[in-house]
C-alpha cells in the first residue's frame, strides 16, 4: 500500500524518510547508548516483560527511550493500553453528558481562538542566532542569509497551516476537543514524493492504538526510531519512519493512570449523577398522594364486605389527568379543580367508622439539596474551570481586562490552558520543522534554530498584557525616582541603563532589540535629513539649502566656519570600494 514500507524493503524512499527522522537529533543516539542507570519507565517494563526480553540491546534501548530527553518523553502509548479501546468508548459516552460537554466546550473555546483570517496561531518572532553561521565573518552575508531563513520560516508555516486545512472551518478546534476526550491523537504526514520529498501536502488521521515506536540501528551503528502499525485485517505490521508520524499523548501512564482530561471527572460526575437521580426518584415517589382507607365491615360476609368497600372507593375516587402539550389539568374530565370538598363518613353505635389517613413512608429527606451541591462543587473542582464560569445567575462571571480584578483561580486556569497548548502545538511544530529542513539542509542540526522556533496562540484574555503594562508603569516610576539621586558630582548616582534593565525586567535580547532600533532610527533620520530639500530650496527656484529672502527672493546659502565644500559630505559618507561599513 502506498506510503508504507515493509521491514525487508530497503530503498531510497525509506532511507530518505529515515534520514529525515534524524533531523534535530544531535545526542539522542548517545544518550541511549551511554546511559548506565535504569530509568523509571525502563524499570517498570523490565519487571513486566521479565529478564528474557531484556538481553537484546535494541529491546533495552526501546525500553529506555521514554526516560531520556527524547521525542517520546512524557508520552503514553495507547498500543500498550489493553483496555484503551473500551475506555475510549466509555469516555465518549461520558463526554456526551451536558455538564461535561460544557466543560470541554469552554476549555476548547479558550484554547483555540480564531481571528478574522481563520488563524488560531501565528509564527513567533525568529531570533537571528544560528550555529552554522559562526564561521561567516561577512555581516552582509549573514544578513542576507537570515532574511532568506526568515522568509522560509514564515512561508513554511503557511504551507503547513493550509495543508492541515485549518483555514477552512474549525478543524483545529475539533482536534483539540477530541484530544481532551480520547487523550491521544496520531497522524501520518503525507509528502508530495516518496523518493524525493520536497513538500508536505496533507495529513491522515490514524488510530493511536494500532501504532507503537521501535528502535532501529542503521549500518553505521546509529540508533534511530521508527513506528510500526498493526493491520487489523491481516495481522501484519507496516513500518513508517518517525518523519511520517505525529503522535500526541495527554498524559504519561506510568506516572498517572488517567489517559485523558475527561477521565479526571469520571468519579465526581458519577457521584453527582447518582445523587441527582436519587433526588429525582425521591420527588417522583413522594409526588403522588397515597391514602390509606380503613372501612369497618363488622361481621358481614366476604362478598358483602367487598361490595361495601367498592362502593366507598367509587364514591371518593378522583381521576386526575395532566396534558403535557396544552398544560391543562382535568379532574374527573372537568377542566376546573374543586377547591372545597366535604367528605361525610358514617359512625355506628360501637364507634366504628371509616378511617382515611395518608400513607407514611419513612426514608431520607431529599427536599434540601446540600449534599447534591457538595458533590457538584467537587465536580467543578475536577473540571479546572473557575467557579465564576458556573455562575449562570451572573452571566458566567464578569469579563475583565485589568490585572487588579483577576482572581487566582483565573490565573491558575490560564496556566492550565498554556500547558494544554504546549502539548497540542506538536500538531504544527513537527511538520513545520521538517518542511524547513527539507528546504534548507543546513538547519537540520542547528539546535539554536530549533529552540528559536515557536508559535503564538491567538488569545482574547488580555490579563497578561495588562499585567505587563502595569509592571512597566511601576518600573518607569521607580526609574524616574532613581534618576533624582545624585552623587557629589553632577553625574547620576545610578546609571539609567542599569535602572532600565533592572526595573523593566528586560532581557539581553530586549536590550539588543532596543539598541538596534535606536541605531536604525538614527540612520533613517540622517538619510531623511540628507535627501530632503530644505524649505525654500529648489522648489522656490533657488539653490538647495538657500533661505528665502524677504519678498520671496532666495538668498545664497551661507557656509559655517570650517564647513566642508559642497559634495564633500556625500563623498565622505560613501565607503571606499571593497570596504565594509562598521556599525556604530
Condensed to tens digits (0 to 9), the pLDDT of residues 544-570 reads 444 444 444 444 444 444 444 444 433
Q: Are residues 220 and 309 in the same domain?
A: no
Distance from C-alpha of 226 to C-alpha of 239, rounded to nearest angstrom = 7
pLDDT over 70 (residue 13) = no
Tell me the backbone φ, ψ of residue 185, rounded to 5 degrees. -140, 135
- Residue 335's pLDDT is 78
Query: Is residue 132 very low, low, confident or very high in pLDDT (cuts 50, 70, 90)?
Result: low
From 482, 503, 527, give the residue that closes a domain.
527
- Residue 137's pLDDT is 65
- Residue 8's pLDDT is 42
pLDDT over 60 (residue 152) = yes
The answer to the question of residue 34 being in a domain is yes
Query: Is residue 405 very low, low, confident or very high in pLDDT (cuts 50, 70, 90)?
Result: low
- Residue 540's pLDDT is 40
Distance from C-alpha of 252 to C-alpha of 73, rounded to nearest angstrom = 9
The answer to the question of residue 286 being in a domain is no
Among 416, 400, 401, 414, CA closest to 465: 401
Residue 317's domain comprises 291-358
The answer to the question of residue 247 being in a domain is yes
The answer to the question of residue 364 being in a domain is no
From 499, 527, 555, give the residue that closes a domain.
527
Query: Is residue 395 very low, low, confident or very high in pLDDT (cuts 50, 70, 90)?
Result: low
Residue by residue, DSSP assigns 3-50 as T-B-TT---HHHHHHHHHHTTT-SSHHHHHHT--SPPHHHHHHHHHH-
Distance from C-alpha of 386 to C-alpha of 407, rounded to nearest angstrom = 9
pLDDT over 90 (residue 414) = no
Average the pLDDT over 9-17 and give the result: 55
pLDDT over 70 (residue 579) = no
Please indicate whether residue 169 or residue 276 has the higher confidence score (pLDDT).
276
Please indicate whether residue 229 or residue 363 has the higher confidence score (pLDDT).
229
Q: Are residues 196 and 297 in the same domain?
A: no
pLDDT over 90 (residue 191) = yes
The answer to the question of residue 575 being in a domain is no
Query: What b/e readout covers 143-173, taking b as 16+ CB neighbours within 10 angstroms?
Result: eebbeebeebbeebbebbbebbebeeeeebb
pLDDT over 80 (residue 418) = yes
Query: Is residue 293 very low, low, confident or very high in pLDDT (cuts 50, 70, 90)?
Result: confident
The answer to the question of residue 565 being in a domain is no
3-class secondary structure, 202: strand
- Residue 194's pLDDT is 84
Among 221, 234, 229, 246, CA closest to 5: 229
Distance in angstroms between the alpha carbons of the first and the last residue of the chain: 61
Query: Is residue 67 very low, low, confident or very high in pLDDT (cuts 50, 70, 90)?
Result: low
Q: Are residues 325 and 350 in the same domain?
A: yes
pLDDT over 60 (residue 327) = yes
Residue with cell 545664497: 556
The answer to the question of residue 417 being in a domain is no
Chain segment 157-188, per-residue pLDDT in tens: 999 999 999 988 789 999 999 999 999 999 99
Please indicate whether residue 33 or residue 280 has the higher confidence score (pLDDT).
280
Q: Are residues 111 and 214 in the same domain?
A: yes
- Residue 285's pLDDT is 76
- Residue 566's pLDDT is 43
Distance from C-alpha of 330 to C-alpha of 318, rounded to nearest angstrom = 10
Please indicate whether residue 120 or residue 530 has the higher confidence score (pLDDT).
120
- Residue 581's pLDDT is 40
Q: Are residues 444 and 388 in the same domain?
A: no
How many domains, in total, are found in the chain? 4
Average the pLDDT over 431-457 and give the result: 87
Please indicate whether residue 11 or residue 115 has the higher confidence score (pLDDT).
115
Q: Are residues 147 and 243 in the same domain?
A: yes
Q: Are residues 16 and 57 in the same domain?
A: yes
Query: Is residue 300 very low, low, confident or very high in pLDDT (cuts 50, 70, 90)?
Result: confident
Mean pLDDT comparison of 99-103, 311-315, 335-339, 461-465, highest-scoring range: 99-103
pLDDT over 80 (residue 431) = yes
The answer to the question of residue 307 being in a domain is yes
Q: Is 397 left (phi over 0), alpha (psi -120 to 50) or beta?
A: left
For residue 224, what is the DSSP state?
E
Q: Are residues 170 and 57 in the same domain?
A: yes
Q: Are residues 476 and 343 in the same domain?
A: no
CA atoms within 13 Å, Cβ hemisphere of 185: 21
Q: Are residues 436 and 491 in the same domain?
A: no
Burial class (CB in 10 A: 0-12, 13-18, 19+), 313: exposed
From 527, 558, 576, give the residue that closes a domain.
527
Q: Which stretches of 34-97 are DSSP H helices? A: 40-49, 57-64, 84-95
Non-local CB neighbours of 485 within 8 Å, separated by 6+ positions: 492, 493, 494
3-class secondary structure, 194: coil
Q: Are residues 95 and 140 in the same domain?
A: yes
Among 339, 355, 358, CA closest to 347: 355
- What are the Cα distances from residue 68, in Å, to 57, 127, 541? 16, 28, 77
Q: Are residues 75 and 212 in the same domain?
A: yes
For residue 322, what is the DSSP state?
E
pLDDT over 80 (residue 336) = no
Residue by residue, DSSP assigns 229-247 as EE-TTT--EEEEEGGGEEE
Residue by residue, DSSP assigns 509-548 as HHHHHHHHHHHHHHHHHHHHHHHSPPTTSGGGTS-TTPPB
Amino acid at each position: 500500500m502506498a506510503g508504507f514500507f515493509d521491514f525487508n524493503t530497503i530503498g531510497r524512499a525509506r532511507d530518505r524518510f529515515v534520514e529525515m527522522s534524524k533531523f534535530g537529533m544531535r545526542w539522542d543516539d548517545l544518550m541511549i547508548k551511554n546511559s548506565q542507570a535504569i530509568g523509571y519507565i525502563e524499570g517498570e517494563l523490565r519487571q513486566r516483560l521479565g529478564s528474557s526480553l531484556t538481553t537484546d540491546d535494541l529491546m533495552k534501548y526501546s525500553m529506555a527511550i521514554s526516560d531520556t530527553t527524547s521525542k517520546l518523553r512524557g508520552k503514553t502509548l495507547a498500543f500498550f493500553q489493553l483496555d484503551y479501546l473500551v475506555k475510549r468508548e466509555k469516555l465518549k459516552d461520558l463526554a456526551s453528558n451536558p455538564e461535561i460537554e460544557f466543560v470541554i466546550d469552554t476549555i476548547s473555546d479558550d484554547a483555540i481562538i480564531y481571528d478574522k483570517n481563520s488563524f488560531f496561531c501565528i509564527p513567533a518572532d525568529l531570533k537571528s542566532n544560528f550555529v552554522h553561521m559562526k564561521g561567516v565573518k561577512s555581516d552582509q552575508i549573514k544578513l542576507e542569509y537570515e532574511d532568506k531563513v526568515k522568509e522560509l520560516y514564515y512561508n513554511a508555516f503557511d504551507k503547513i497551516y493550509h495543508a492541515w486545512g485549518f483555514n477552512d472551518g474549525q478543524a483545529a478546534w475539533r482536534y483539540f476537543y477530541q484530544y481532551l476526550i480520547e487523550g491521544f491523537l496520531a497522524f501520518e504526514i503525507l509528502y508530495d514524493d516518496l523518493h524525493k520529498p520536497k513538500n508536505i501536502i496533507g495529513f491522515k488521521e490514524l488510530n493511536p492504538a494500532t501504532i507503537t515506536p521501535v528502535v532501529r540501528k542503521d549500518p553505521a551503528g546509529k540508533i534511530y526510531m521508527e513506528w510500526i502499525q498493526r493491520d487489523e485485517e491481516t495481522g501484519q505490521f507496516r513500518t513508517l519512519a518517525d518523519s511520517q508520524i505525529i503522535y500526541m499523548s495527554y498524559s504519561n501512564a506510568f506516572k498517572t493512570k488517567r489517559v485523558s482530561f475527561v477521565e479526571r471527572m469520571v468519579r465526581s460526575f458519577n457521584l453527582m449523577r447518582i445523587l441527582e437521580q436519587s433526588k429525582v426518584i425521591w420527588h417522583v415517589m413522594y409526588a403522588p398522594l397515597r391514602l390509606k382507607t380503613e372501612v369497618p365491615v363488622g361481621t358481614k360476609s366476604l362478598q358483602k364486605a367487598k361490595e361495601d368497600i367498592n362502593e366507598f372507593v367509587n364514591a371518593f375516587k378522583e381521576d386526575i389527568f395532566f396534558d403535557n402539550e396544552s398544560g391543562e389539568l382535568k379532574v374527573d374530565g372537568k377542566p376546573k379543580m374543586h377547591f372545597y370538598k366535604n367528605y361525610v363518613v358514617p359512625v355506628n353505635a360501637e364507634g366504628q367508622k371509616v378511617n382515611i389517613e395518608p400513607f407514611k413512608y419513612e426514608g431520607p429527606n431529599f427536599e434540601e439539596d446540600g449534599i447534591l451541591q457538595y458533590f457538584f462543587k467537587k465536580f467543578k473542582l475536577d473540571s479546572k474551570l473557575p467557579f465564576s464560569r458556573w455562575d449562570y445567575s451572573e452571566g458566567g462571571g464578569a469579563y475583565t481586562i485589568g490585572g487588579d480584578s483577576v482572581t487566582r483561580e483565573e490565573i491558575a486556569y490560564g496556566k492550565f490552558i498554556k500547558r494544554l497548548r504546549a502539548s497540542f502545538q506538536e500538531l504544527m511544530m513537527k511538520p513545520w520543522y521538517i518542511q524547513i529542513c527539507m528546504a534548507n539542509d543546513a538547519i537540520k542540526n542547528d539546535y539554536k534554530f530549533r529552540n528559536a522556533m515557536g508559535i503564538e496562540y491567538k488569545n482574547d484574555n488580555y490579563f497578561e498584557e495588562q499585567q505587563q503594562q502595569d509592571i512597566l508603569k511601576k518600573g518607569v516610576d521607580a526609574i524616574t525616582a532613581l534618576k533624582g539621586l545624585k552623587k557629589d558630582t553632577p553625574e547620576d548616582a545610578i546609571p539609567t541603563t542599569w535602572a532600565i534593565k533592572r526595573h523593566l525586567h528586560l532581557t539581553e535580547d530586549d536590550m539588543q532589540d532596543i539598541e538596534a532600533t535606536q541605531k536604525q532610527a538614527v540612520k533613517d533620520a540622517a538619510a531623511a535629513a540628507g535627501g530632503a530639500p530644505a524649505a525654500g530650496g529648489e522648489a522656490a527656484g533657488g539653490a538647495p539649502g538657500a533661505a528665502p529672502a524677504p519678498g520671496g527672493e532666495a538668498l545664497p546659502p551661507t557656509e559655517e566656519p570650517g564647513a566642508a565644500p559642497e559634495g564633500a559630505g556625500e563623498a565622505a559618507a560613501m565607503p571606499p570600494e571593497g570596504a565594509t561599513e562598521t556599525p556604530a
